[in-house]
């Protein structure tokens, strides 16, 4: 077995988490956090823990299946925590974890950018669609 220099080990370590490499796990994470439901739920949880039903009302258009699936995925990834309170009916609250909070400024900036620049994007689309091929 050939030994590796420290420089070779550092190079391999850098490549181990290179999102441009197809097998890189960070690519899968980027795919996950770029999902529209993840970004909307993350920003919806910015200020306080929320119940499932509150999230369903805040994030218009999300189906019950997608809401459940997205929250489970976010919990699995360590972005949200889930607290169940025994009552009738059972109360389930979701809250951002420290890891989720660290992602929040990025998601809030993207959401804000989209809300600020949607008119520019719509105009660009119209120009593109109206231009000869």
CB 16 within 8 A of CB 77: no
Helix, coil or strand: residue 32: helix
Mean pLDDT of 23-33: 87
pLDDT at site 71: 97
pLDDT at site 17: 81
Kindly state the DSSP code that residue 127 receives in the 8-state scheme: H
Mean pLDDT of 66-82: 97
> With helix as H, strand as E and coil as C, how does 60-120 read?
CCCCHHHHHHHHHHHHHCCCEEEEEECCCCCEEEEEECHHHHHHHHHHHHHHHHHHHHHHH
Q: Is the pLDDT of residue 66 over 80?
A: yes
Q: Is the pLDDT of residue 131 over 70?
A: yes
> Which carries the bigger pLDDT value, residue 122 or residue 11?
122
Rounded-to-integer distance, Cα 55 and Cα 57, Å: 5
pTM of the model: 0.80
Average pLDDT for the chain: 91
Helix, coil or strand: residue 40: helix
pLDDT at site 22: 79
Mean pLDDT of 106-128: 95
């Amino acid at each position: 077995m050939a030994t590796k220099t420290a420089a070779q080990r550092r190079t391999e370590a850098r490549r181990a988490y290179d999102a441009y490499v197809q097998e890189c796990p960070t690519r899968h994470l980027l795919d996950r956090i770029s999902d529209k439901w993840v970004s909307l739920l993350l920003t919806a949880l910015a200020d306080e823990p929320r119940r499932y039903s509150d999230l369903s009302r805040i994030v218009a258009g999300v189906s019950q299946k997608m809401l459940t699936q997205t929250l489970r995925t976010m919990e699995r990834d360590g972005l949200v925590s889930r607290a169940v309170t025994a009552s009738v009916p059972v109360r389930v609250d979701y809250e951002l974890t420290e890891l989720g909070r660290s992602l929040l400024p990025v998601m809030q900036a993207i959401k804000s950018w989209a809300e600020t620049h949607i008119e520019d994007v719509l105009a660009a689309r119209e120009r593109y669609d109206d231009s000869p091929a």
